[in-house]
Each structure stands twice: as structure tokens, then as C-alpha cells.
Chains A and B, each alone.
Chain A
């Protein structure tokens, strides 16, 4: 079945450091790919998405590119802030799956001043 694998956390960075969180997937067909972020005590917020190969999703300085050849959707940000501390989930949604999201295990990011 479809699955998503994320790099394990927690990840601790200093403010203004470069961030990469790796995400790879296994799916039949051409899924849509998402990054969600969960701040402490809150629900999940959509950070960015990509619906086809070579699409780049971007939001709030975060970027991820849908790479079909490597089945990857790595999240990057050039300069992290303390306010980016949260748990990040990579997810996919397959065609005709009723909107069902398959989540990775989540990566906890802690940014220190």
C-alpha cells in the first residue's frame, strides 16, 4: 500500500540555519503531496502542496519539489526562525482515495535563538 517515510527527529537548529527535512513516498499512480505543520497545542495546518511531478510548493519561506524520479518531496527553508519550532508531517493523497491522507511519522523541529 501507499506509504510515506520521513527523517527521524527531533531536529535541533540554531536560528538562521538551513533546514532540510527528507520525505520519500511509495504510491501507485500519481499522488498529491503535502507538508503539514503542527504547532504545540494546535491542529495541523497546510504548509504547502504539489499535485504533479516537478511542481514546487512554497509558503512562508518553505519549499518542496515533487520529484517523481526519486519519489521524494523534501522540505527546505533557507533561514529558520524560533517561531518555526513545530512538528512537520509529510503526507500523500492518492487518486480516488476519498481524500484520505497517508502521513509520515512527523519530524519535530526545535530552533534555538
Chain B
């Protein structure tokens, strides 16, 4: 069983809908990540939170809005998505991502998103 829990497992939404993806970890990790993965491709980094502050935004369109309410939770708010945004969205966490730490990432099983 993965220690990073993502909900929902599957999501179908129209281009005018607003939805949210949720991620939770109880390992005491202080860094959390959102990745996007297309079929048969490696994950692409979207956002990184470090100690609940956004530290990396990989030039992601504003229709994706991350939120980190506390050290255990990470949300990704979705609005006005396009069909090409259909993908597997993976959440990950690591103990610490500051310089000098070599903490590996722990991934959830992802939310498979389909935009119609």
C-alpha cells in the first residue's frame, strides 16, 4: 500500500467544470510535489511545496492552481481545462528538499483525469 493517498482515482470533467485533486501523506514529510504523466512518458514536474510554501512552479498554466493547506495535505484545483490536459496526475512527498538532503520521493497512485 502506498503511503501517499490520492483522491479521486479517476475523474472525468468537462471543459467548463471546476474540480479538485487531493493528496495526503502522514509520514511527516515537508516537501510535496505535483507531477503530470502522459501515457508511456516520464512524469513532468508541475509544482513543488517546501514547508507549505510554493517553491517551484514549472510555468504551469493558471488553469491549474495548487494549494497546500497544511504539511499533510496538497490540493490541485482545476478550472477550464483542455482535452490535452487529460493525463495521470501524481502526487509525491519527500522528507525534505532543501540543499544537502537526498530524500527520495514517495509517489501516490495518481488520479487519472479525462477532460471531455
Residues of A whose CB lies within 8 Å of any CB of B are 32, 34, 36, 41-46, 49, 51, 87, 89, 93, 95-96, 98-101, 103-106, 108
Contact = CB atoms under 8 A, between A and B. Distances in A.
Contacts of B115: none
Chain A CB within 10 Å — which of B40, B50, B90 has the most? Answer: B40
Contact of A46 (B42, B43, B106): B106
Given A99-B97, A106-B42, A43 B102 contact: no
B57 to A, nearest CB: 11
A106 B105 contact: no
Interface of B: 2, 4, 6, 31, 33, 40-43, 45, 48, 50, 55-56, 90, 92, 94, 97, 99-110
Nearest to B97: A99
A37 to B, nearest CB: 11
- 5 smallest A-B Cβ distances: which pairs? A99-B97, A103-B42, A43-B107, A96-B99, A44-B107
A45 B107 CA distance: 7
B40 A106 contact: yes
B97 A104 contact: no
Contacts of B33: 99
Contacts of B48: 98-100
B43 A44 contact: yes
Contacts of B42: 89, 103-106
Nearest to B99: A96
Contact of A98 (B6, B50, B100): B50
B55 A105 contact: no
Contact of B41 (A36, A41, A105): A105
Nearest to A31: B102
Nearest to A47: B104
A51 B103 CA distance: 10
B47 to A, nearest CB: 11
Nearest to B55: A98
